[in-house]
């Protein structure tokens, strides 16, 4: 059976790791992202992949991709297809200093973009033998911290949408789940590639399991959800955070 994984934000961080890992187990990876050069780099490392430029902050860009993808893959039926809504942005700022432009940008990229993309691909998923949707959310969608009002709200909405969508798509045997990473070593984090060892040690001590997460930690769970062993889970909101939500 043909296996296809459509991955947003595939050029770096968690998305890049997911693409590398799924390609190793036979998935054709559809790599989506804004930066063409970064996409070309991960494309060269994936065994079987194609790249498409897309900007989730642009509804026009999303629709352009959907039209091109459906044309390129119109003959694909009865396959195993996974849509992984991974791309996201965060702008740390207090609520009082934030602007509606910032709120709109974060909600468009983190929520409305994935919703629009999923809307455009859901009929394609219905035609497959196996259809799965995995949303990469955040623990901040469960318990926010200071200066993340817009980001946390967008991820809380993503979690609720995940559960609603799981109910609606269950009759088509399409599962929908969300993974909520805690602090992960990715370019999205302000401490990424910092030389401040004290900051790193402080962050590690904050985690009950003694370290911040890595993209591989998230990718391992994605790989499990994609596998045949995971066939009876839908509507789940799965924190993967080293225990940080415990306090």
pLDDT in tens, the chain (247 residues): 999 999 999 999 999 999 999 999 999 999 999 999 999 999 999 999 999 999 999 999 999 999 999 999 999 999 999 999 999 999 999 999 999 999 999 999 999 999 999 999 999 999 999 999 999 999 999 999 999 999 999 999 999 999 999 999 999 999 999 999 999 998 766 555 566 778 888 889 989 999 999 999 999 999 999 999 999 999 999 999 999 999 8
CB 18 within 8 A of CB 10: yes
* Per-residue pLDDT tens over the stretch 24-65: 999 999 999 999 999 999 999 999 999 999 999 999 999 999
Task: Give the pLDDT confidence score for residue 137 in this predicted structure.
Answer: 98
Question: What's the full length of the chain, in residues?
Answer: 247
CA–CA distance, 193 with 60 (Å, rounded to integer):
34
Q: Would you call 11 exposed, middle or buried from its count of C-beta atoms within 10 A (0-12, 13-18, 19+)?
A: buried
């Amino acid at each position: 059976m043909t296996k296809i994984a459509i991955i947003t934000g595939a050029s770096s961080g968690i998305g890049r790791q997911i693409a590398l890992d799924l390609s190793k187990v036979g998935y054709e990876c559809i790599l989506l992202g804004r930066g063409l050069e970064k996409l070309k780099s991960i494309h060269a490392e994936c065994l079987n992949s194609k790249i498409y430029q897309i900007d989730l902050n642009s509804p026009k860009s999303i629709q352009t991709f959907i039209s091109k993808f459906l044309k390129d893959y119109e003959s694909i039926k009865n396959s195993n297809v996974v849509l992984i809504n991974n791309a996201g942005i965060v702008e740390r700022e207090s609520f009082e200093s934030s602007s509606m432009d910032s709120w709109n940008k974060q909600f468009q990229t983190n929520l409305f973009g994935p919703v629009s993309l999923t809307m455009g691909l859901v009929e394609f998923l219905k035609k497959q033998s196996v259809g799965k949707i995995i949303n990469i959310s955040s623990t901040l969608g469960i318990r926010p911290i200071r200066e993340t009002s817009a980001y946390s709200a967008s991820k809380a909405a993503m979690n609720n949408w995940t559960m609603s969508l799981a109910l609606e798509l269950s009759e088509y045997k399409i599962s929908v789940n969300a993974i909520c990473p805690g602090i992960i070593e990715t370019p999205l984090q302000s401490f990424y590639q910092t030389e401040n060892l004290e900051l790193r040690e402080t962050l590690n001590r904050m985690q009950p399991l003694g370290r911040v997460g890595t993209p591989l930690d998230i990718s391992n769970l994605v790989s499990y959800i994609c596998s045949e062993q995971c066939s009876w889970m839908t509507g789940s909101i799965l924190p993967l955070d080293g225990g940080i939500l415990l306090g």
